[in-house]
Amino acid sequence: MVIKHKNIFITESAWSNTDKLLLCLDTGSWRTERPVLDKEKCNYCGLCALYCPPQCMKDMGEYYEANLVYCKGCGICATECPRKAITMVSEGGFTDG
Amino acid sequence: MVSAQKGQVRVLTGNAVGAYGAMVCRPEVIAAYPITPQSEIAEQLAQFKADGTIDAEYVEVEGENSAMNVVLGASAAGARVFTATSSYGLVFMYDALQEASGFRAPVVMVNANRETPGIHAVSSGQQDMISARDTGWVQIIVENDQEILDQIIMAYRLAEDNDILLPVMVNYDGFYLSYLAEAVEIPKIEDVDAFLSPLKKQPARQRLVPGLPIGCGTHGIEMGYVEARYKHCQAMERVKNKVDEIDKAFGDYFGRYYGGQIEEYRTGDADIVIIASGSATGTAKTVVDTKREQGLKVGLIKLRLFRPFPAERLVKILKGKKAVGVIDRSVSFGWKYGPICMELKALTADFGPMPVLSYIDGLANLDITIPHIGRVIDEVDAAARGKPYQEVTWIPME
C-alpha cells in the first residue's frame, strides 16, 4: 500500500500543541454569516472575545476581530456587544470565504 | 541483565495476585471500584495503600466509568496507572475504554472475566472481554495465578513502550481464578524495576503539562481521524511481535515463559489441533496428554492474545493440519460460531481448507470438563478422517 498522506500529528496519538496549531478544525467553512465590525462604535471592551465559543477573537490592540479560519458565524459576539458594533453579514456577498 | 533473584512464594488467590502484580510495578495512580468477582483486588490495593506498601494515589471513585476516566487523566499526565474491573463494570466504562485507546494512553487494567448484563449471571464466562473487542485495547487472556502476576508486569512493558502506547487488558476467568488460591512466586520489586527499566531509557512520552494547552483527541475531523486510526491499527500490528519479544525477555530474566501471543502445546507433529483460552487450557493439556498416550496425534493452542489476533502464528501452526476445534466461552450474537472460532474462520484461506469445529462451552460457570474436551478431540479427529461433523455444538445444551 502506498501512503501519500503527510502526517498531521507529530505524536502517535492525536494530540496537538494548541499554542502553535489548531489542527483539523476548519470550522470557518461551516459559516453562513460573518461578524463585521464597525470600528467607530467599538470601545475595545472585550466582551465579544469573552463570549466567543471557539475563542477565535483576535486582540488587534484597539479592537477585536474574528479569525475567519475558525469563526463558525454563530453570532454570539454580535448579540453580546453592548454597543451593537458587530453586524452579521451573509457570506454570499464576500469573495474570500 | 542476568537473572532475577528467587522471589517470595506465597499461596494467594488470583485476585490477591492481581493486586500484588500491580504493586510490584509501582503504579503512581490507582482508581478501582469493587465488583464481583474482582472486589478483592480493589480491597487489597486499598490495604497496600493504608499499610504504606504502595506509594500511589488511590482514588476512591463512585463507579467504573470514573475509575477509567481517573486513570486515563493520570496516564495522560504521564503517570503509571492501574485499575481492575469485571462484567458490568467493564460495560459501564465502555466510552472511557475507547477514550483511553484513542488517547493512546498506556493504561493497564485487569479484567476478571464474567458474563454480561441482560441475564444477571454472577458467574464466569468471557462475554465481557469479547464484547469489548473493538475498543482498541490490547486483550490478553491468562491461564493461572502465576501468569496473572507475570502478565501484569509484561503488560506495563508492552503498554508503555513508545512503539506501542496502547492500553492493555489482562483477562482471567472470574470465579475460577479470582478465588482460586495457588502457590505464586512474587518477584522482588527491584527485579521488576530492572525488567521495566528499558521503558525509562526511552524519550518521555507526550504528557499533559500545566500551563501548556494541548488538544487531546479533539482534532479528529476528516484526515486527523483517519491518521489517528491508521496509526492505532499499525501499533496493534506491532503488538504481536512485541508480545513475543517481551515474553522471551521475561522468561530469560525470571525463568517463566508463556509463549507470547500463543502457547503451543504438543502441536509440532500433531494431525489435529484444538484451540482454547484461559483456565480451561490447564484441563485441556491433561486431556491432550491422555489422548496422546492412546496414540492420537493431537495438540493444543492456548490463545493468549485475543486483540490483536495472532493470525500469522496461528496460520503457521495450522497449515498442513487435518482439522481444528475451537472452544469458546462466549457467544457472538448473529454469528453461529463462537467468537474465537469466527476469528479463526477468517484465516481459512491462509491455513487451507480443513474442518473447523466450533464448540460453545463453559458459559455461566458451567465447567469445561475433561469429558467435554475429550469429546471435542474425538469429534475433531473423526472430522479429520472424513466423517461428517456438526459445525457448531453447544455442549451444555445436549
Task: Indicate the domain borders of chain A.
Answer: 27-93
| Mutation site, A13, A23, A29, interface B, largest B CB count within 10 A | A13
Residues near B375 by Cβ (< 8 Å), separated by ≥ 6? B395
B217 and B340 housed in the same domain: no
pLDDT at B197: 98
Q: At which of B254, B270, B300 does a domain end?
A: B254
Is B337 domain-assigned? yes
Inter-chain residue contact A13 with B102, CB threshold 8 Å: yes
B13 and B152 housed in the same domain: yes
Fold assignment, A27-93 = Alpha-Beta Plaits (3.30.70)
Stretch B240-257: mean pLDDT, rounded? 98
- Residue-averaged pLDDT of chain B: 96
For the segment B342-355, what is each residue's pLDDT rounded down to a tens digit?
999 999 999 999 99
What is the C-alpha to C-alpha distance for residues B180 and B226, in angstroms, rounded to an integer?
44
For the segment B177-218, what is each residue's pLDDT rounded down to a tens digit?
999 999 999 999 999 999 999 999 999 998 888 888 787 766
For the segment B36-83, what is each residue's pLDDT rounded down to a tens digit?
999 999 999 999 999 999 999 999 999 999 999 999 999 999 999 999
B199 and B288 housed in the same domain: no
pLDDT classification of B220: cutoffs 50, 70, 90: low
B340 and B199 housed in the same domain: no
pLDDT at A18: 65
Is B3 domain-assigned? no
Q: Is A18 within 8 Å of chain B by CB?
A: yes
Is B110 domain-assigned? yes
CA distance A96 to chain B (A): 23
Q: Which of B126-130, B211-215, B265-269 has the lowest mean pLDDT?
A: B211-215
What is the C-alpha to C-alpha distance for residues B328 and B370, in angstroms, rounded to an integer?
15
Please check the confidence at residue B156 and state whether its pLDDT lies above 90.
Answer: yes
Q: Please state, for a pLDDT cut of 90, what percent of chain B lies above it.
A: 92
For the segment B271-305, what is each residue's pLDDT rounded down to a tens digit?
999 999 999 999 999 999 999 999 999 999 999 99
Is B359 domain-assigned? yes
B293 and B215 housed in the same domain: no
Give the three cell numbers for residue B252. 530469560
B239 and B295 housed in the same domain: no
| Mutation site, A15, A16, A23, A72, interface B, largest B CB count within 10 A | A15
Is B1 domain-assigned? no
Q: Which of B212, B220, B235 sits opposite A24 (nearest CB)?
A: B220
What is the C-alpha to C-alpha distance for residues B59 and B48, in angstroms, rounded to an integer?
13
The total of structural domains in chain B comes to: 2
Residue owning grid cell 465579544: A48
Q: At which of B254, B273, B295 does a domain end?
A: B254
B177 and B278 housed in the same domain: no
Q: What is the CA radius of gyration of chain B?
A: 21
pLDDT at A27: 81
B103 and B168 housed in the same domain: yes
pLDDT at B393: 98
If you ran DSSP here, which 8-state letter would residue A90 be given?
Answer: E
pLDDT at B92: 97
B247 and B324 housed in the same domain: no
Is B2 domain-assigned? no
| Nearest C-alpha in A relative to B225 | A14
What is the C-alpha to C-alpha distance for residues B37 and B198, in angstroms, rounded to an integer?
34
Distances (CA, A) of B368 to B143, B284, B294, B326: 14, 9, 21, 13
Task: Name the region of B327 (left: φ>0; alpha: ψ -120 to 50; beta: rest).
Answer: beta
Show the beta-strand stretches assigned E in chain B: 8-13, 29-31, 57-59, 81-85, 108-113, 138-141, 168-173, 181-186, 214-216, 262-265, 272-276, 298-303, 305-307, 323-328, 356-360, 392-394
CATH number, domain of B170, equals: 3.40.50.970
Per-residue pLDDT of chain A (97 residues; tens, 9 = 90+): 888 988 878 788 888 766 665 555 678 889 999 999 999 999 999 999 999 998 899 999 999 999 998 899 999 999 999 999 999 999 988 877 5
Please check the confidence at residue B119 and state whether its pLDDT lies above 90.
Answer: no
pLDDT at A20: 62
Domain that holds residue B359: 262-397
B45 and B173 housed in the same domain: yes
Residues of A within 8 A of B229 (CB-CB) are: none
CB B111 within 8 A of CB B169: yes
Which of the pair, B369 or A54, is modelled with greater confidence? B369
Is B95 domain-assigned? yes
B146 and B294 housed in the same domain: no
B156 and B16 housed in the same domain: yes
